[in-house]
Structure 1
Amino acid sequence: MDYIVDDLPLHVLLVHAVIVLVPLVGLALIVIAAWPAARRVLWLPVLIAAVLLVPLGLVTIEAGKWLQARVPAAPLIEAHTSIGESIVPWLWALLGVAVLVSAWAVIELLAARRSTGTEERRPSRGLRIAVNSVLTVAALAVTAGAGWTVFQIGESGSRAVWEGSFSDEPLEQ
């Protein structure tokens, strides 16, 4: 398969989406884990985004492998590609936490629908606080790990492309 779009390598296009979407999905995950009102409204869009992020990351990696085979070997490119796949476990972790937060949102929504008048069928306040706390800590940890990994991969990729290829001073036109 050719990973080219409009005469550009697909990797250089997709990588920008991954760089933006990983922290964005992570931040949204933190918000819905910590804030029950937001969770009731946003759990499904955040879950869908996390589901789509996994194949997006995998296609970006495959497009990167395709591109690597078509550029001269260089230490900076080797450094970038050696850590490129380290994002995959974090993408799965983001999805896993999104599934857990979504499951909790569904449980809360179903319990709220079953509650009638004076009969309270929602989980106890203590359980809600405990689950919200665990989900929030999990979202914070996974977002931090995924964000740091994306930063490292992106930084090494930008070095591979740009280091030594521009002048410190403006060029005369």
Structure 2
Amino acid sequence: MSLINGLPAHVLLVHIVVVLVPLTALALVVAALWPRAARRLGPLLPLLALVALVSVPLTTQAGEWLERHVNDDALVRRHTELGDGLLPWAVGLFVLAAVVWWAGRQAPAGPGHGGSMRWSALPVRIVVGVLSLAVAVGAVVDVYRIGDSGAKAAWHDTSSKTATGAKRDSDS
């Protein structure tokens, strides 16, 4: 995919990544630390993570197409390098979202109920919570860094230092 309605697809697809990756990260942390939220979210959590995961390589591929159609620039190359690092974070979000969802399904509904896995057991919740928090923070920070580098690449030489662009009286 290279163009959507005459616009570079990357410029449009990037918004999906910028919204869904942090949203998935937040939902994952809440569900991992609060089993009741995991049960309430149900399959929405892994589905959200799956859409976020699929959007990353689509956006990256569209970005690589765009990179071949703009002038060679160090800022664009840096943005591309950073963008290539988001996929492992998105995979981590998806895997952990699936684990949290599955564990939430296996958890007993209340005290005294049996189950093949004690999702409410503190050590399990701590490990999953710490992993979820680490991956969520890593993914969000990476999205921020990639977006910041993309904005710098796109806008670094397009704006004026003054509000109107006109010369001030002291300049004449």
Change (3 A) 1:54 1:124: closer
Specify the alignment match of 1:121 in structure 2. Answer: 114
Specify the alignment match of 1:59 in structure 2. Answer: 58
Deviations 1:52-83 (A, max 9, x none): 11111010000001111111111111111122
Residue 171 of structure 1: how far off its partner (Å) = 2.4
Q: Where does 1:10-21 land on structure 2 (aligned, <5 Å)?
A: 10-21=9-20
Contact 1:47–1:102 (CA under 8 A) maintained in structure 2: yes
Structure 2 alignment gaps of length 5 or more: 167-172
Alpha-carbon distance between aligned partners in 2 of 1:91 and 1:5, rounded to the nearest angstrom: 24
Change (3 A) 1:67 1:93: same
TM-score, normalising length from structure 1?
A: 0.87
Alpha-carbon distance between aligned partners in 2 of 1:11 and 1:127, rounded to the nearest angstrom: 42
Change (3 A) 1:172 1:164: closer
Contact 1:43–1:101 (CA under 8 A) maintained in structure 2: no
SS class of match (1:168):
coil
Change (3 A) 1:126 1:172: closer
Residue 125 of structure 1: how far off its partner (Å) = 7.3
Alpha-carbon distance between aligned partners in 1 of 2:118 and 2:74, rounded to the nearest angstrom: 55
SS class of match (1:165):
coil
Structure 1 alignment gaps of length 5 or more: none
Which amino acid in the other structure matches residue 146 of structure 1?
A
Specify the alignment match of 1:77 in structure 2. Answer: 76
Residue 127 of structure 1: how far off its partner (Å) = 5.9
Q: Choose the corresponding residue for 1:168, options 153, 161, 164.
A: 161
Alpha-carbon distance between aligned partners in 1 of 2:118 and 2:7, rounded to the nearest angstrom: 54
Deviations 1:94-136 (A, max 9, x none): 011111101101111xx449x9xxx631479796222122111
Q: Where does 1:4-153 land on structure 2 (aligned, <5 Å)?
A: 4-108=3-107, 111-112=108-109, 120-122=113-115, 128-153=121-146
Deviations 1:18-54 (A, max 9, x none): 1121111000000111112111110311110101111
Residue 170 of structure 1: how far off its partner (Å) = 2.1
Specify the alignment match of 2:147 in structure 1. Answer: 154
